[in-house]
Amino acid sequence: MEKYHLREKKEIKKKKKCYKISVKYYLSLIFALILIILLLLILIIFTLTRLSKSSREEALKSGRNYMNKCLKGIINNITFKISKKRKISVIVPIYNSQKTIKKAISSIQNQNMIDIEIILINDFSTDNSSQIIEEIHRTDPRLLIINNNKNMGILYSRCIGVLKSRGAYILNLDHDDMFFDEDVFDKLYQSTEKGKYDIISFMEVQSGNYYTKIEDMKDGICTHHINNLIVRQPELSYYTLFKNNDFSVVDIQIWGKLFKSSVYKDAVNLLGIKRYSVFNALNEDMIGLFSICNVAKSYKYVRKYGLFHFLNNNTASQIASKEHYMNMEIFFCDIIFDLSKASNKKFAAIIAIKLRTKLFFTISNNKTKRYLIYVLKKIINSKFVEKEYKKQLISTYKVFDLG
């Protein structure tokens, strides 16, 4: 029994000794860190005193910006892990975007709103886009990366991103676009009036020069000297027209708008995976927006410059072949007919009639020809399309003997 007590006393002494050693170790470590910080501060102060006034101010500004960025990153991490709700989800489809994607993501990360998620859909990129977004993901947990197994196109990528999103509202951003001010998300979210509106449309600026500075854009807008810039101010009336399937409207872009998540998801499900899985290099914005407007019930326009859109002359829609253009136009006409309400089926006929007059109208492929005849007959045989439109269609496409 005495031996047992002696052994127990020895163990207690041993533990106390270990505890003292660990305390000393941590104290010495803290002291060493404090010493290093003091030495760094002395070095910074010494360096700043040797700099000129302008260089000193610039160095201090850079230091402050860096510290703010670090602090914001820490807050983002903590807030994101604690909060389960996301106010806004930003959908960014990516395909060979190594030159522009950092700027696009940075414009989202710089927003004052913290409880957001950034959904990046990598559409089977063959450049360094994958490595770039993975590197950014390591420092920001708000990023969600989805990798497509093959190149599926923008429409599919957006729809997949929407279905994976957890935000109350959804924004779309192209890989080479940027958000303007740091308060854009806050202003748009406040404009929803606690979920009252399904679509919030805002102002954007378009430019053919990707390297135009945001500050120069703002100056150009204020002074009305807008060189190579297009200022877009969507009208409230566009939604009503689009809701009624009037496709004479100009504002057909899916970006520059904040959508209620539940409405957007309903629209994607209405569109269906078979439709949005078709590779589409044309009309993807109009198809997406048309689907949403069919479900949405309320719209609001906000006079806020929120987005810089780069006019890229090498996008898929601009380099597609005439045959592909033709296929996509027929596909669009088919979707409009299927998704339109009964009273608006005639708009599919109007689109089909206009299609014949377009410069790129050409059919050399038998599969395309069969698809066009199938869609035309579907419209002609519909009881919801007036006789005058049916006659026009038969006359316009008399080469196919549709009568």
Residue 317's pLDDT is what? 47
Q: Residue 319 — pLDDT band, cuts 50, 70, 90? A: very low
Which tens digits make up the pLDDT trace of 59-90? 667 767 666 666 666 666 666 555 667 999 99
| Gap between the Cα atoms of 32 and 383, Å rounded | 84
Q: Which of 65-69, 120-124, 143-147, 259-263 is predicted least confidently?
A: 65-69
* pTM attached to this predicted model: 0.74
Cβ neighbors of 171 (< 8 A, separation 6 or more) are: 88, 89, 90, 91, 185, 188, 255, 257, 258, 259
As to burial, measured by CB atoms within 10 angstroms (0-12 exposed, 13-18 middle, 19+ buried), residue 159 is buried
Residue 78's pLDDT is what? 63
Which tens digits make up the pLDDT trace of 140-183? 999 999 999 999 999 999 999 999 999 999 999 999 999 988 99
Assess whether pLDDT exceeds 70 at residue 275.
yes
Q: Residue 223 — pLDDT band, cuts 50, 70, 90? A: very low
Instruction: Give the right CATH number for 86-312 from 3.90.550.10, 1.10.3720.10, 3.40.630.30, 2.40.50.100.
Output: 3.90.550.10
Assess whether pLDDT exceeds 50 at residue 27.
yes
Contact 95, 151 (CB under 8 A): yes
Cα 346 → chain centroid: 33
Residue with the larger pLDDT of the pair 371 and 230: 371
| Gap between the Cα atoms of 124 and 358, Å rounded | 32
Assess whether pLDDT exceeds 60 at residue 15.
no
Residue 379's pLDDT is what? 95
Residue 295's pLDDT is what? 84
Number of Cβ within a 10 Å radius of residue 144: 16
- The residue count of the chain comes to 403
Report the mean per-residue pLDDT for the chain: 79
As to burial, measured by CB atoms within 10 angstroms (0-12 exposed, 13-18 middle, 19+ buried), residue 145 is middle
User: What is the full DSSP assignment across 359-387?
Assistant: TT-----HHHHHHHHHHHHHHHT-TTS-H
Which tens digits make up the pLDDT trace of 194-216? 999 998 988 877 776 655 555 55
